[in-house]
Amino acid sequence: MMNRATVRAQKNTIEFFSIFLLLTILGITLLYVPEDLLDLLIEENGPIEMMTAVGLFVAAVLLLWSGYMKRQQFHFTSGIVVLCLGLRELDFHCRFTTMGIFKSRFFLSEKVPVNEKNIGAIIVLLMFFGLIWYTKAYYKRFMINLRNGQMASICIALAMGIAIFSKTLDRMSDQLNALISSLLFIDPTTFIRILEETSELAIPFFILLAIMENRHGYQNRSSSSQRP
């Protein structure tokens, strides 16, 4: 008879496989839809990007609520980080500035007013120092949990890895075009766009799965502590 840990591990494997299978099916489907429909689906602020943002906002709300109810600073600060990711996914800052504040030419372009550059610099610095503080505060704990095979930490590691992978696709699209053209009989630009959008959609899935795993672990610890 399988113990609880084995059952849980099998359940996690099925969850991981289901996420990757779902997104693979979505990606393959997108390869064969008409070009005008594809452009509509994967455009900026299109349906797929909106699903990614909504997933991140749901995760942020759950973390902020958990941090407030359980008085856990880690959940609250993690909620703020995920909320920023959701706003970044929607390029929320572009609604108030001439161009994206995370682009290097934002600070060099003569088209951007000085006051926008000053505000952008303050925001970028605040986010940079906030990320440093967050990393210093929780990195050691995260790595210990990851080495111990804690599923929530594995999910977060996967989300981070996928985020890096997606950003690499965006930055190296020109270099990858020739490679993809030699390996696949499809338009490389379209393939990269689809791969980037479906990869980003996986991020909130794994963050939400990490929240569920953390809640499950918290409930197990609570029930164990109440046993005589």
Taking only the tens place, the pLDDT of each residue in 24-53 is 999 999 988 888 888 888 887 789 999 999
The residue among 188, 202, 166, 194 whose CA lies nearest residue 30 is: 194
Question: In the structure encoding, which two tokens stand for residue 165, read together?
Answer: 């992978």
Question: Which residues are within 8 A (CB) of 22 and not within 5 positions of it... i.e. 6 or more apart?
Answer: none
Q: Are the C-beta atoms of 79 and 228 separated by less than 8 Å?
A: no
Q: Are the C-beta atoms of 211 and 59 separated by less than 8 Å?
A: yes
pLDDT for residue 17 is more than 80: yes
What is the tens place of the pLDDT at every residue in 149-185?
Answer: 888 899 999 999 999 998 888 777 777 777 776 666 7
Q: Are the C-beta atoms of 122 and 108 separated by less than 8 Å?
A: no
pTM, 2 dp: 0.82
Confidence of residue 224 (pLDDT cuts 50, 70, 90): very low
Candidate from 92-101, 110-119, 168-177 with smallest mean pLDDT: 92-101
Distance of CA 161 to the CA centre of its chain: 9
